Amino acid sequence: MAQPEASQKSSSASVTSSLLAAVAKGDQQAFAQVYDATSSILFTLALRMLGDRDEAADLLQDVYSEVWRKGTRYDPARGTPTAWLVTLTRSRGIDRLRSRAAKGGRASVALEDSPAAEQAAGDGPGPLDMYAELELRSAVAKALGELPDTQQQALELAYYEGLSHTEIADRLKQPLGTIKTRIKLGMDKLRTTLQSHWEPR
């Protein structure tokens, strides 16, 4: 599928605001383009949070149907469209984790690191977007790799598992102050190393 608009952008901004505006107006083709450009990162996130492919797929279905119904909610002043979708997916994912916990299920399933072997051919994003995304992936992975393990762990427990600092401290049997410091230091470092990737251009 030709994506002239999307391919002009670099890095994570593979979905433009105007594309999302078209979705908000009910343009199915624009919606399909948004899906192509974002389903991979959103599914990756959903799978990491929920640990189950079927449930991750259900979560994506919820998220995209919300995008379809409420695309008007997106506000460019608050970040890129992709960042908005990531945030939406994360918060709906946390809702699922909470209701799972409320039903007595165990909260988290840590996934084995597996290579990107499942990258399906065909419907994926265009080659330029893919390249930009690869570049971003490697930058983020490198930046995370430079953090001490303890900082990575604290960030992951908060971001992917929805734990508060108190809950993380309990889980890791560490003082609260230590956990807060780890999160803060980790975020500070990432903010510096990844500056060229998050700063608005």
- Residues 67-96, interacting with another protein (CB under 8 A): 68-70, 72-73, 75, 77-80, 82-83, 86-87, 90-91, 94
130 lines the binding site for another protein (CB under 8 A): no
CB distance 109 to 166 below 8 Å:
no
- Using CB under 8 A, which residues numbered 26 to 65 contact another protein? 26, 28, 31-32, 35-36, 39-45, 47-48, 53, 57, 60-61, 64-65
The dihedral region occupied by 147, where left means phi > 0, alpha psi between -120 and 50, and beta the remainder, is: beta
Q: Which stretch binds another protein (CB under 8 A): 2-10, 100-108, 122-130?
A: 122-130
Nearest of 141, 146, 156, 38 to residue 108 by alpha carbon: 156
Residue 126 CA to residue 2 CA, distance in Å, equals 8
CB distance 62 to 92 below 8 Å:
yes
Surface-to-core class of residue 44, CB atoms within 10 Å of its CB (0-12 exposed, 13-18 middle, 19+ buried): middle
**Minimum CB distance to another protein, residue 7 (Å):** 19
Q: Return the number of the residue (18 or 188) whose C-beta is nearest another protein.
A: 188
Q: Which stretch binds another protein (CB under 8 A): 1-9, 100-108, 161-169?
A: 161-169
**Minimum CB distance to another protein, residue 147 (Å):** 10
Q: Return the number of the residue (19 or 86) whose C-beta is nearest another protein.
A: 86
Query: Two tokens at 69?
Result: 């119904």
**Minimum CB distance to another protein, residue 158 (Å):** 4
**Minimum CB distance to another protein, residue 129 (Å):** 13
DSSP 148: -
List, as own/partner pairs, every contact residues 175-179 make where C-beta atoms lie below 8 angstroms and the sequence separation is at least 24, other chains included: 179/154
Q: Which stretch binds another protein (CB under 8 A): 2-10, 99-107, 113-121?
A: 113-121
